[in-house]
Structure 1
Amino acid sequence: MDWKEVLIEYQSHLKLEKSLSANTLEAYLRDIKKLQKFTDTKPLQITSSEVEEFLYQFAKENYTARSQARLVSSLKSFFNYVQYEEWRTDNPAELLETPKLGLKLPDTLSVEEIDQLIAEIDLGTAEGERNRAILETLYGCGLRVSELTELKLSDLFFEENFIRVIGKGNKQRLIPISDYTIKYIDIYRKEIRVHLPIQKGFEDFVFLNRRGKKLTRVMIFTIIKNLAEKAGLRKKISPHTFRHSFATHLLKNGADLRSIQMMLGHESITTTEIYTHLDDTSIREAVLKFHPRNN
């Protein structure tokens, strides 16, 4: 079998059996295609030495340990599948070692910084009202950017103060939504969205562009990047920053980790535990307030 045949089968496996999101699936395939481009050897004949050389050359190009770890994960997944299908008996990626990753704390925004960003929005335009609703939804519900772009009117249960979200692996979850966030979504929905020329097939999507189609991930990134530049914030800000801020602020204000895990849609609470990081001030206050010797 050549690369094209195997990749078609592998793509079907990731989509149908693993239920990976389109973005994750694309990332896996992109990594394997890098190996394909690197070597002339067919996937059923490639050796462990060739795979190791590929990784070595990849690492030499100053890619981060995180990028290398993801590439190793992609290679292991691909060759595990090839072996599982019994197209080859050995696994050339079996002995690959994943680089050790240090704890990478997510960037977060303070409430004041979030207010700064929102203050830069031109509310005199239709897009401005939409963008305010987008930022309030990202921060108020802790959504991934793909969950925001896929959010539908039929997912809004405002009377019960919940929204329904389709997360990774097509898993559904219900997220509480505050009246504050509902207010801005409703302003956009009832005063702006109703006047858009909505295209066929996009009638149920909440957030639309001026042509009446759903927004892309890139557009959300662009909106936030432009607002950050206007606000003079020097942090590296993305849609995910609002998700990190949502979780961090909940934790600091007393929410339990298990509840945050469920709202974020994390399979493992270990993933959620990254939000237990605290700044030096919080640590100092905690020691002074709670240690028995300081009473």
Structure 2
Amino acid sequence: MNKAENFKFLEPIQRGKKGLWCQRLAYKDKHGKWKQTSKSGFARKRDITTAVKNEMLKELSGLLSLDNSMDSITLKDFSELVIADKKNEYALNTIITYRNAINRLPTLKDMPIKEITYAHCIKEFATLEQAKGNTVFSTVTVLKSFFKQAMLYKVIPSTPLANYSYKPGHKGVSRLRIFTEEEMNTLLDYYKGKDLQTWIQLCFLRYCGLRLGEMSAIRWCSIQGNMLTVDRQYSNISGKFAFRKLKTKNSYRTIPIPDTLLNAIQVYKKRYPPFISTARVVQRNIALNISIKKIYPCHSPHDFRHTYATNLLARGVNLRTVASLLGDTITTVEKTYIHYSEEMRKNAVIKLNEIFG
């Protein structure tokens, strides 16, 4: 590159409301056309040092060394190119995983890979909200791998996801498993006629939204009229199972027992005077999990808690009340059930428009 003819640093300028300094670099591309690249975010003009300019020249050198023959190649086409080139290295399952990951990115896969930005990626990841966390993690990992391959193939100068790491639990990356009313009715009807102990456990999970350890620690004295006091749990610490105090002060609570559950308790009490937490708790909890998966393999006891919470939110119960009933903080509930709290906000807007519109 001839410094005098092919590039020149322009005078720094200030941009934005904060007046941050920006260094611009004009250069000629391979077709002889003048273009610009820049680096911004400097608080003071003197922060634009020689080292900063040298780094810009280094990045520009990488940009100008790219393979122009693949300017318009899409992410999907590039992924197939890499798979074809490495067919003797990749196992069949690896190829299937890679292709499935790219197909989960309907917008990105048809974009020229050179045009894909960090913002494009984040927006696409948000569409994966119905996928499990492991699926999202796999998809992100595969995409980052193909960006790195694109750098080796001289298609792009750098990867847009260099500083990105997927963190499970962020908005839009995972969806809770929820029972339908029909599924819960099917489970309870099935076990009421076959195993009354499993049935009463399912009833407490369904109608109180308890954690499994809390449900396992219920005593007859926990029930006073139509209220249930949650004040202990059955848990494993250092390999030892025992009845213990609850983890947080929010976990201690008294919750209403609906009439349906009160009637179920009376049916159970006539047959089994000792309550469900008297003995062999671990074995019964394992059996409960197996009993659920026997009918619905993708569900677990904790899914009843998610279902309980989302049903309350769907019926307009406010976050503070839901948090109190679950024994959680408002922040935890909002994060866990973000999709439903967002729906509540949208419904609030509709109601406000009806009132004041």
Change in 2 beyond 3 A, CA 1:283/1:255 = closer
State which of 130, 137, 146 in structure 1 corresponds to 2:213: 146
Letter in 2 for 1:111: E
Alignment counterpart, residue 120 of structure 1, candidates 190, 195, 205: 190
Q: Compute the displacement of 1:112 (Å).
A: 2.4
Over the matched positions of the two proteins, sequence identity in percent amounts to 27
Q: TM-score, normalised by structure 2?
A: 0.43
TM-superposed CA distance for 1:193, in Å, is: 1.4
More helix by share: 1
Normalised TM-score (structure 1): 0.51
1:65-144 to 2 correspondences below 5 Å:
100-101=167-168, 102-103=170-171, 104-121=174-191, 123-125=192-194, 127=195, 129-144=196-211
Q: Which amino acid aligns with 2:290?
A: T
Do structure 1's residue 187 and structure 2's residue 249 form an aligned pair?
no
The one of 319, 322, 335 equivalent to 1:260 is: 322
Question: CA 1:261/1:239 → structure 2, altered by over 3 Å: closer, same or farther?
Answer: same
Q: Distance in 2 between matches of 1:191 and 1:227?
A: 27
Q: Which residue of 1 aligns with 2:300?
A: 238
Within the candidate set 173, 181, 194, 2:253 is matched to: 173
Letter of the 1:106 partner, please give it.
L
- Equivalent residue pairs, number: 181
Cα distance in 2 for partners of 1:107, 1:65 equals 15
Letter in 2 for 1:149: S
Q: Which runs of 4+ in 1 moved over 6 A?
A: 279-289
Larger Rg: 2
Q: Give yes or no for the alignment of 1:218 onto 2:296.
A: no
Amino acid across the alignment from 1:191:
K
> SS of the counterpart of 1:186?
helix
Segments of structure 1 that go 5 or more residues without pairing to the other structure are: 1-62, 68-96, 195-202, 230-235
Correspondence list, 1:195-214, <5 A: 205-207=275-277, 213-214=280-281
Q: Amino acid of the residue matched to residue 141 of structure 1?
A: C
Cα distance in structure 2, aligned partners of 1:283 and 1:130: 40
Distance 1:148 1:254, change over 3 A: same
Deviation at 1:240, TM superposition (A): 0.8
The alpha-carbon distance between structure 1 residues 173 and 98, as it changes in their structure 2 partners (threshold 3 A), is: farther
Contact 1:138/1:148, CA 8 A, preserved across alignment = yes
Mapped contact 1:108–1:241 kept (Cα < 8 A): yes
In the aligned structure 2, how far is the partner of 1:248 from the partner of 1:191?
33
Structure with greater proportional strand content: 2
**Post-superposition shift, 1:285?**
7.7
Residues in 2 aligned to 1:185 and 1:251: alpha-carbon distance in whole angstroms: 26
Unaligned segments of structure 2, at least 5 residues: 1-132, 138-163, 234-245
